[in-house]
Amino acid sequence: MIEFITQPWSWYVAGILVGLTVPTLLLIGNKSFGISSSLRHVCAMCVPAKIPFFQYEWKKEMWNLFFVVGVLLGGAIAANFLSNPNDIQIAAGLKADLTSYGITDYSNLVPLDIMNWQSLFTLKGFLLMVVGGFLVGFGTRYAGGCTSGHAIMGISTLQLPSLIATCCFMIGGFIMANLILPLILAL
């Protein structure tokens, strides 16, 4: 059984499992799927300031915090006990492109050549990790939710703003991956 769990699963299996999360949450408690609001719940719980954005009944959203903790624990268990011992397979064309940018270490889910503590203090690392992280956080708040909330929950409940947000996420991702990231990696 462990061998079955540690093997890479096809995209459609994971897609079906994630897709079943939406009706399950709706049927069990009329809850919406999303992760990005969890930071707001934690701040509302822990920050004693009278900031209006954090003044709401956060205790009603405790289920979401348990969900996030479960995701983190599940990821930690999977990474430490269920990881696939085989090398990560990368297409030859992508490998050639990444090698031209100096990325040759594929032993992790992120390229360790650019995602490490030493790189954080370089211009390339700062742009990728700090500026990129800020832009993701800002975009999530500006769009009123993250990709999982809009693409999985919003579209499945036929919300036009979620469809627009998801299209914008995809366009931004294509622009970043094909136009901006090669410029940053070439630094």
Tell me the per-residue pLDDT of 53-111, one tens digit each, with 9 for 90 and over.
888 888 888 888 898 899 899 989 888 888 777 777 788 998 898 888 888 887 777 78
Q: What is the mean pLDDT of residues 157-178?
A: 91
The predicted model scores a pTM of 0.70
pLDDT, residue 185, reads 84
Token pair listed for 1: 């059984």
SS (H, E, C) the chain: CHHHHHCCCCHHHHHHHHHHHHHHHHHHHCCCCCCCHHHHHHHHHHCCCCCHHHCCCHHHHHHHHHHHHHHHHHHHHHHHHCCCCCCCCCCHHHHHHHHHCCCCCCCCCCCCCCCCHHHHCCHHHHHHHHHHHHHHHHHHHHCCCCHHHHHHHHHHCCCHHHHHHHHHHHHHHHHHHHHHHHHHHCC
Q: What was the pLDDT predicted at 46?
A: 87
Q: Which residues of 38-73 are buried (b: 16+ CB within 10 A; e: fewer)?
A: bebbeebeeeeeeeeebeeebeebeebeebbeeeee
CA separation for the pair 24, 148 (Å, rounded): 15
Per-residue pLDDT at 169 exceeds 80: yes
Average predicted confidence (pLDDT) for the chain: 84
